[in-house]
Structure 1
């Protein structure tokens, strides 16, 4: 049976890769593998359990500044224009969860270094049970509620509203992400961004960093009408916590009150987008100004070094958006579900390694998360 499942998995991968070099699916095609693993007996040692903190868990590798240098916005101000804007349509994902996926859909692919963006909503009894990753980083930003996390190395932790988790999958990780039941019964809402790793770091050791809301600096501009959470990068003279992701990304949570406006500098040459979480926001200025409603991804042209946004003075609510920019990686992307590599052969190798519990997946054998068992109760 195991041999049959493995051959079936490889066959599906071959067919999928024949259609596209970049396969942007998530866990669905690997359901047979995941179900088999979930049915194995749990053998995780409790002596390895630890709580994630504010520093990285996992072995350090090459600091990103040694690979790329420090990102610096240009001194001159050239506004970026909008390349496209589109609604993120809600769909089912994981087990019982709902996501609005914008990056990693036919609307937006090959947008290096970004692989996928999900605006997710989940309730107790739903979530993302045990599943593997290789070759990417995930950045999870929680807007409301709480999410428990557990992996096959014995790491456990919880992020709450306003917190983030930066996870580097590297050579291999298997984990679960499950919403925690809230007293008020409200759903858990957040953003999860998948970022590609540079080729030389694809097989680094996995690591985590929980960034607490209290660690995120904030800055107000335009007489207090604009509030910026500087999650990663720099804004209006305020710098974020350093060494968060290996692939350089800037991330801001921005809220603009009616009558307010902001011009945010971004490193030249980086790809950038804004995802609208609430209200109506005008992006651009003059004839280039475009009104964008809730749940849209606004993709900016690469040329230029600033993004301008404003909310009409007579608006009934503030504009709230998630602004992200990242350094494009000059490399091929071959993705099969949660495995993101640079060639078809590397994808096949990842499937074999996961199937045979080797080369980073040794601890996946017989492992079952405790938090994933909630779905069986």
Structure 2
């Protein structure tokens, strides 16, 4: 049974971080806490002007959720207070589980940079786990191809191909490229939260064949177990993301996402006092946020 479109929201570009422009879909007033998804940004970092600070997202904390960064263009560096440092290139994925606490920086290595960042909630039992990183190079991400449709399977499965990433709750994350005038059908478990974010091209989505252009978020109904997409007279690219709802209370204050207000207050105190996962936060300063000067 095909899923229906229950909402369509076109993202408007806005400022975020330092010198960054983002198109936010999940996490706006129109699409707040689409369980288990907290936020989705299409971010763009352009060449900075003379005398401007380095573009990007300088040192900042997280607790209680995961960030999934998928590079579309450019090269992105990241570094955290536990000594982890890496670089992701076009097509690469960084899946960071903040758990009980991380402070990190995300700074472009080259400009311009374009990518997607998804904030994914953690169930209560995992919110205070140790932080971890999973980094997949583009060539290591499984790809499924059939009848003019190419799918990078970042999480979940598609067209008989399974992802390699380990997720704390069941998730699908697919980068779908369709040739013109093709049809793609993806099976998604009934009752999951499912949405598509369009990147380029035009197409028709869902049982109602809702037309959409780039930078739109299309939210599907919980009933039904199949998502159908038809590309138009030009190639179409989009991210299909779905997940099993966690069904727990969500209390968010900036970079902290917990289940109760009391836990948020604890997170703020832990960060300020450098304890319970934030022991290294006080004196740590990233190198990448201060070295990035010449791009």
TM-score between both structures, scaled by the size of structure 1: 0.75
Q: Secondary structure at the match of 2:280?
A: helix
Distance across 1 between alignment mates of 2:268 and 2:42: 28
Distance across 2 between alignment mates of 1:95 and 1:242: 30
- Cα deviation, 1:302-346, whole Å, max 9, x if unaligned, reads 11111000113xx1x211100000110110000000000000000
Once the two structures are TM-superposed, the CA of residue 242 in structure 1 deviates from its matched residue by: 4.1
- Equivalent of 2:143, from 205, 213, 218? 218
Q: Which runs of 5+ in 2 are unaligned?
A: 48-53
Confirm whether residue 311 of structure 1 aligns to residue 199 of structure 2.
no
Q: What is the RMSD of the two structures over their aligned residues, measured on CA atoms?
A: 1.2
Match of 2:211 in 1: 291
Confirm whether residue 190 of structure 1 aligns to residue 115 of structure 2.
yes
- Equivalent of 1:133, from 62, 85, 89? 62
Distance across 2 between alignment mates of 1:356 and 1:376: 31
- Cα deviation, 1:211-261, whole Å, max 9, x if unaligned, reads 111111111122xx1111111111111111141x21221110001111111
Q: Which has the higher helix share?
A: 1
Distance across 2 between alignment mates of 1:80 and 1:322: 16
Match of 2:133 in 1: 208
Once the two structures are TM-superposed, the CA of residue 187 in structure 1 deviates from its matched residue by: 1.0
* Misfit runs of 4+, over 2 Å: 374-377
Distance across 2 between alignment mates of 1:290 and 1:108: 18
- Equivalent of 1:251, from 165, 173, 177? 173
Kept in 1, the 8 Å contact 2:154–2:165? The answer is: no
Distance across 1 between alignment mates of 2:169 and 2:254: 20
Match of 2:272 in 1: 355
- Cα deviation, 1:57-100, whole Å, max 9, x if unaligned, reads xxxxxxxxxxxxxxxxxxxxx11000111111110000010000
Match of 1:56 in 2: none
- Cα deviation, 1:107-161, whole Å, max 9, x if unaligned, reads 1013100000000001352000000000000100000111001000111100100
- Equivalent of 1:163, from 75, 92, 107? 92
Distance across 1 between alignment mates of 2:142 and 2:128: 32
Match of 1:80 in 2: 3
Kept in 2, the 8 Å contact 1:123–1:179? The answer is: no
Confirm whether residue 179 of structure 1 aligns to residue 108 of structure 2.
yes
Kept in 1, the 8 Å contact 2:249–2:259? The answer is: yes
Once the two structures are TM-superposed, the CA of residue 300 in structure 1 deviates from its matched residue by: 0.5
Kept in 2, the 8 Å contact 1:196–1:247? The answer is: no
TM-score between both structures, scaled by the size of structure 2: 0.95
Higher-Rg structure is 1
Distance across 2 between alignment mates of 1:240 and 1:205: 23
Match of 2:287 in 1: 370
Distance across 2 between alignment mates of 1:242 and 1:195: 14
Match of 2:51 in 1: none
Confirm whether residue 145 of structure 1 aligns to residue 68 of structure 2.
no
Kept in 1, the 8 Å contact 2:196–2:218? The answer is: yes
Confirm whether residue 274 of structure 1 aligns to residue 196 of structure 2.
yes
- Cα deviation, 1:288-311, whole Å, max 9, x if unaligned, reads 111101100000011111100011
Match of 2:256 in 1: 339
Distance across 2 between alignment mates of 1:242 and 1:148: 20
Kept in 1, the 8 Å contact 2:201–2:235? The answer is: yes
